[in-house]
Structures are given as C-alpha cells and as structure tokens.
C-alpha cells in the first residue's frame, strides 16, 4: 500500500511516501518569500504547491499512478470528532472558506485531493485528526464564566497516533482504554482519552495548563487583567507574552531545553528552578486529569520533542508514577501519524468518516 503524506507549513511543504508503514522517501520543499508574495492568501497557493510536489515526485522517480492514497494535514475546519476523514466537496469548501482563520494546514486536504485526482484509478484523499478535533464532554466546557467557554485546541494528530500505537502494542482497542496523553513540545497539552475520545484537554495554544518552552500556560487572572489595562502594553504584545515569548523564553531567554540542561549542569540554579517548575506543572496537570478518570488509568503516554530529555521525563515521572504505568514515545512524527491513520483506515481497522 503506497501512501503520499503532505504537510504544508507557512514557508515549506513536507512530503513523504510510505510503502505500508515504511517511509521510503521524504523531502522538505522550501518556498521563498518572493514566490509566496504573489498570492494574497495562503489558500491561493495550492496550485503553486501542487506543481512543486508533482515535480519533486518526478525527480524522485515516484509515479503518481503507483499511489493508493494521498493524505494531507487537516486544517481549521469546524470542530469535529477525531479520526480519518475522506476529502469530499464539503470539506474542501469549508477549507477554502477559512472558517476559523488562515493557516497553512488549510491547503493540506486540498493538495491531497488535487494530487489524488491525478491518479487514473481515482484514489481517495484523506485528512487525519486535524487541530480542530473536539470530543470534550459538556462538563469540561464550563470555565466559570459563560462568555469564556473552554475549547478544544491541542496536538490531536500526535496524541491520537500515539494512543492508537500503544493500543496496538498491547493488543487492545484504543476505544477500550483509559489513557492520559502528554504532548511535550513548544506547546504542552495533556489529554484525557477515555474509550477513544479526548473528553478533556487543556488549550495549549491560548494559555491553559502548564507553561512550556514558549507559552505561558495558565496565568493569575487578576494580575493578567491589570497588566492588560496598565497602558504599558498593546494587545499584540500581551498575546506574545502568552504564546511565543512566554514560559522558558520569558524566564531564561531561550526555548531550547538542551541549552537549559547545559546551564543546569554548569551550576545555573535559576535554570534548574524554571525547568523543575515546568515539570512540576506538567505533573500537576496529569494529576488533575487523573481525577477525570476517577483514577482508572491504563497508562500515561508521554510524547513530543521534550520527551527525548531523560532529565525532564524523570522529573515528571517521580511525581506521577503512583497513578499508572508510564510509556514514553519521544518526538512528534506528523508524517508517520498521517500515514498510519490512512493505512489502518484503508485496512478497515479505523472507520473512514465523511465530513458534512
């Protein structure tokens, strides 16, 4: 089974070709600012990127006619349950409308469909677990103020892929497990996976949960309100404090965990305190999630780029190991996650959903 995976970024497009689950070709296609400046909106770039992808496949001597499916990174659609979605006319229509905003991932499904149509067998195109996955229980949406409901924005693609991978490893169904999945990256999200649904998760983009290498996490509401009305900062500056220049960047001037560990090894006590505080907050979030499952947890799964750090993993583990076994899946392999979802859907092990 040959699958082409497409992951558009703001200035690049990553493509990978998988034979079954073996990645046999991958490349990152860079796009210059001059090339992209010709297009008023990101959504207008899909023909340009399509030609570049097709050319890259030709150069690699990969015939589009040998593909069995194409999968693209899911975009900012309306909130939907997790899973594998066939790219249909309604999905493309909503991607082009940019329902929740402009983002490079919006052209992932469009590119997948356009390239799938180049195959004379009319193969299907898919998206898998887009960032808009929303499976929250109603009770988890209540924030304390009806004007400010809690919303679901998290690392759905990686969290779901890791959860399904773990289930396959232990020969059980994801739908029968209770898991806490922790994504440790530039942003940090901790999801409660109950029987195949993420029923609660912190909004790691907009400032909930633990602070991360570059995000502030949950902040004292009163102090934040005073800051907003202090006339010292504009809206975009406050937003940057929350996402981009928060967390470790705000305290230590870097989002590089390896650099911070070097500082700690050289006796930097402040760096040690901040890294330990981040791990402390992550452990607190895991503990909070454990109450959602009434303590009935099959496993705690930890993934993302920071999961390569034994130092960070050990700090978290020593606080939460009493709750459940811990399994670590370092890194965030989005291409593999896209291919896995498509592969198992085509094999009939995952349902193929229709977007409507």
pLDDT digits (tens, 9 = 90+) for 195-240: 999 999 999 878 799 999 999 999 999 999 999 999 999 999 999 9
CATH number for region 2-134+335-354: 3.30.420.40
The answer, yes or no, to whether residue 100 has pLDDT greater than 80, is: no
The answer, yes or no, to whether residue 101 has pLDDT greater than 80, is: no
Burial of 92 (0-12, 13-18, 19+ CB in 10 A): middle
pLDDT given for residue 64 in this prediction? 96
The ranges of the chain annotated as CATH 3.30.420.40 are 2-134+335-354, 156-331
Between 10 and 300, residue with greater pLDDT? 300
Instruction: With CA atoms as reference, report the closest residue to 114 among 1, 2, 6.
Output: 6
Report the interhelical angle of 310-320 vs 257-265 (nearest 10°).
90
Pairing, β 188-194 against β 84-86: unpaired
Instruction: With CA atoms as reference, report the closest residue to 153 among 129, 119, 180.
Output: 129
pLDDT given for residue 41 in this prediction? 86
Residue 42 — very low, low, confident or very high, per pLDDT cuts 50/70/90?
Answer: confident
pLDDT given for residue 22 in this prediction? 97
Instruction: With CA atoms as reference, report the closest residue to 349 among 21, 123, 19.
Output: 21
Residue 99 — very low, low, confident or very high, per pLDDT cuts 50/70/90?
Answer: confident
Average pLDDT, the chain: 94
The answer, yes or no, to whether residue 158 has pLDDT greater than 80, is: yes
pLDDT given for residue 33 in this prediction? 82
Q: Provide the whole-model pTM.
A: 0.91
What CA–CA distance (Å, rounded) separates 316 from 280?
7
pLDDT given for residue 306 in this prediction? 96
pLDDT given for residue 155 in this prediction? 92
pLDDT given for residue 206 in this prediction? 80
Q: Spelled out in words, what is the top-level CATH class assigned to the domain 156-331? A: alpha beta
Residue 98 — very low, low, confident or very high, per pLDDT cuts 50/70/90?
Answer: confident
Between 35 and 273, residue with greater pLDDT? 273
Residue with tokens 């209770």: 178
Instruction: With CA atoms as reference, report the closest residue to 20 among 69, 65, 63.
Output: 69
Between 41 and 336, residue with greater pLDDT? 336
pLDDT given for residue 34 in this prediction? 86
Mean pLDDT of all residues in 10-33: 93
């Amino acid at each position: 089974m040959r699958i082409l995976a497409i992951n558009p970024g703001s200035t690049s497009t990553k493509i990978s070709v998988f034979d079954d689950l073996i990645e046999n070709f991958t490349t990152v296609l860079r796009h210059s600012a001059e090339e992209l400046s010709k297009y008023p909106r990101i959504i207008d770039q899909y023909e340009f990127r399509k030609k570049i992808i097709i050319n890259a496949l030709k150069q690699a001597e990969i015939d589009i006619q040998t593909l069995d499916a194409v999968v693209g990174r899911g975009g900012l659609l309306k909130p939907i349950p997790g899973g594998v979605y066939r790219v249909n006319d309604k999905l493309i229509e909503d991607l082009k409308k940019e329902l929740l905003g402009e983002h490079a991932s919006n052209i992932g499904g469009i590119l997948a469909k356009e390239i799938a149509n180049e195959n004379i067998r009319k193969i299907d195109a898919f998206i898998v677990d887009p960032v808009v996955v929303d499976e929250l229980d109603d009770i988890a949406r209540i924030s304390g103020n009806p004007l400010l409901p809690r919303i679901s924005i998290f690392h759905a693609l990686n969290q779901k892929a890791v959860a399904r991978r773990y289930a396959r490893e232990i020969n059980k169904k994801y739908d029968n497990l209770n898991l806490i999945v922790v994504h440790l990256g530039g942003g940090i999200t901790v999801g409660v996976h109950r029987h195949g649904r993420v029923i609660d998760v912190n909004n790691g983009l907009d400032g909930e949960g633990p602070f991360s290498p570059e995000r502030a996490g949950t902040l004292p509401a009163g102090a934040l309100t005073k800051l907003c009305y202090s006339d010292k900062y504009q809206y975009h500056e406050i937003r940057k404090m929350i996402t981009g220049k928060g967390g470790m960047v705000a305290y230590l001037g870097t989002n590089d965990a390896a650099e911070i560990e070097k500082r700690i090894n050289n006796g930097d006590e402040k760096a040690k305190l901040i890294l330990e505080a981040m791990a402390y907050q992550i452990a607190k979030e895991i503990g909070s999630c454990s109450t959602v499952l009434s303590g009935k947890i099959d496993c705690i799964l930890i993934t993302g780029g920071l999961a390569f750090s034994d130092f960070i993993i050990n700090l978290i583990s020593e606080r939460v190991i009493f709750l459940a076994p811990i399994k670590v899946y370092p890194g965030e392999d989005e291409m593999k996650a896209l291919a896995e979802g498509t592969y198992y859907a085509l094999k009939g092990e995952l349902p193929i959903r229709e977007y409507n």
